[in-house]
Amino acid sequence: MEKSSINEMEDPSQEDVISLVNSMFQVSDYNKTEFSLEFKIEDIDFKSKFESLARKLENMSYVCKLEKMEERGLHVIIQKFSQKKQRKWMSTSWTPRILFAIVISFVMIDGYYRTSGTNSIVEIGDPLEMAAIYTLSLLGILGVHELGHIIAAKIHGLKTTWPYFIPGLPIIGIPTFGAFIQSKGLTINREILFDVAIAGPIAGLAIAVIVSIYGAYTAPVLDSEIAAGLFEGSKLIEWDLGEPLLMTASLALFGKGGAGHEVIMTPVMFAAWIGFLITFLNLLPAWQLDGGHMARTLFGAKLHKYATYGSMAILILLNYWLMALLILFMSSRNPGATPLDDISPLSKNRKLAYLGIIVLAILCAPLPSGFLSSLLP
């Protein structure tokens, strides 16, 4: 180690950093540049040591990164931590509250309108009461999704913001486009990134399944002849936005759906459908979606890029062009999250869990009408 370079440092705290690294790793070489400290380490079991170092350095306003350089071995690179400034509209604590209030009003308006429309065909309940159930169902799915992320982040020592709910287009579309949180800490390794990413969709999906089962139980069914007359009078419109297999299973649980019966898409069923759709989109291995983070930890940056293109192709096949274009635009500006330790692989259990994620994505996908029957003999 070059002891002379330590004495030449202007920032006394750098001596503490160097001492800390030397106490935790087998350092075989050291180099100081204008903007960083570089340590070549010989440790074989470095994952837990690096995680501990990263947490300690973060408290000292430093950030470290693990890099494997060809012919030069494994290096820990340390730089002064510069706090990324939040956008002004996100820096106030009132912003998530205001957005949440707007989304609640949008969902209530949407639920009232949908209930009134359904009541013109078959009575399902008081519009205001049904709108409240619809709001509780939809925001329950989205809220628990974000809560899953927050809990997983807290387990790994990461601080996050409150959820930011995104207002949608009530009546003419969907009343909310989901929600998101921002991490206030550093993502140290692939396993932390994976755990935080997977927790949200799993938690939200559990609520979506409950809502779907309740919606299927309460959804009215019309005889095919009555439905045909309503179709002719344009009072009933064919649902053509796809049906997730989990929703099909919920209806089948109560003997509903299939040939000869028209199930009315009630507000609660619509809430479940939105929940399945958002879960499906989040599980796609694209960009910085939850599935994209998981794919990034498993496949690395290069394959993650191809997985993003593959996800766009799937969305186009399902006729979700706008979402495909949005992913293309956003991924070109910010391709994905990179953990500080992008070398340590995922555990075997997490790799197996990702296989389950693929299955869940298929079950939540808005498949075209008659897709399942076309596969059966």
pLDDT tens, position by position, 25-38 = 999 998 998 889 99
pTM of the predicted model as reported, rounded to 2 decimal places:
0.89
Percentage with pLDDT > 70 across the chain: 87
Report CA dihedral (364, 365, 368, 373) to the nearest 10 degrees: -50
The pLDDT, as a whole number, for residue 3 is 38
Distance CA 315, CA 1 (A): 54
pLDDT at residue 349 above 80? yes
Which residue, chain included where needed, has tokens 């969709």? 201
Q: Tell me how far apart the alpha carbons of residues 57 and 78 are, in angstroms, rounded to a whole number.
A: 9
SS3 43: coil
Confidence of residue 193 (pLDDT cuts 50, 70, 90): very high
DSSP state of 185: S
Q: Which residue has the higher pLDDT, 66 or 377?
A: 66
Q: What is the pLDDT of residue 4?
A: 35
Residue with tokens 């982040």: 153
Q: pLDDT > 90: what percent of the chain?
A: 68
Average pLDDT rounded to a whole number, residues 336-341 = 87
Return the pLDDT at 87: 59
Query: What is the rounded CA–CA span in Å between residue 358 and residue 284?
Result: 8
Paired strand residues for 62: 80
Report how far residue 290's alpha carbon sits from residue 193's, in angstroms, rounded to the nearest whole number: 9
Per-residue pLDDT band for 315 (boundaries 50, 70, 90) equals very high
Q: How far, in Å, CA of 365 to CA of 344, rounded?
A: 32
Q: Quickly count: other Cβ atoms within 10 Å of residue 86's Cβ.
A: 13
What type of residue is 247? Answer: M
Residue 67 burial (C-beta neighbours within 10 Å; 0-12, 13-18, 19+): middle
Q: How far is CA 71 from CA 2, 22, 68, 76, in A?
A: 21, 22, 9, 15
234: left (phi over 0), alpha (psi -120 to 50) or beta: left
Q: Where are the domains of the chain?
A: 3-80, 88-375
Q: Which of 352, 358, 356, 353 is nearest to 283 (CA)?
A: 358
Q: Which fold has domain 3-80?
A: Hypothetical Protein Ta0175; Chain: A, domain 2 (3.90.1070)
264 has pLDDT over 50? yes
pLDDT, residue 293, reads 95
Average pLDDT over residues 89-109: 88
Average pLDDT over residues 295-324: 93
The residue type found at 216 is A
Q: Across 130-134, 159-163, 248-252, which has the greatest mean pLDDT?
A: 130-134
Cα–Cα nearest to 264, from 125, 145, 153: 125
Left, alpha or beta for 98 (phi > 0: left; psi -120 to 50: alpha)? alpha
What pLDDT does 306 receive?
A: 93
Supply the pLDDT for residue 231: 59
Q: Which amino acid is at 339?
A: P
Mean pLDDT of the chain: 88
pLDDT at position 13 is 77
> Residue 194 above 80 pLDDT?
yes
Q: Does position 236 have pLDDT exceeding 70, yes or no?
A: no
Q: Which is more confident, 147 or 370?
A: 147
With cut-offs at 50, 70 and 90, classify the pLDDT of residue 260. low
User: Residue 158 and residue 262: Cα distance in Å, rounded?
Assistant: 48
Residue 131 burial (10 A CB sphere; 0-12, 13-18, 19+): buried
Give the confidence band of 65 by pLDDT, cuts at 50, 70, 90. very high
pLDDT given for residue 10 in this prediction: 47
Identify the band that residue 104 occupies on the pLDDT scale cut at 50, 70 and 90.
Answer: very high
Residues 6 or more apart whose CB falls under 8 angstroms from that of 189 comprise: 47, 50, 51, 339, 340, 341, 342, 344
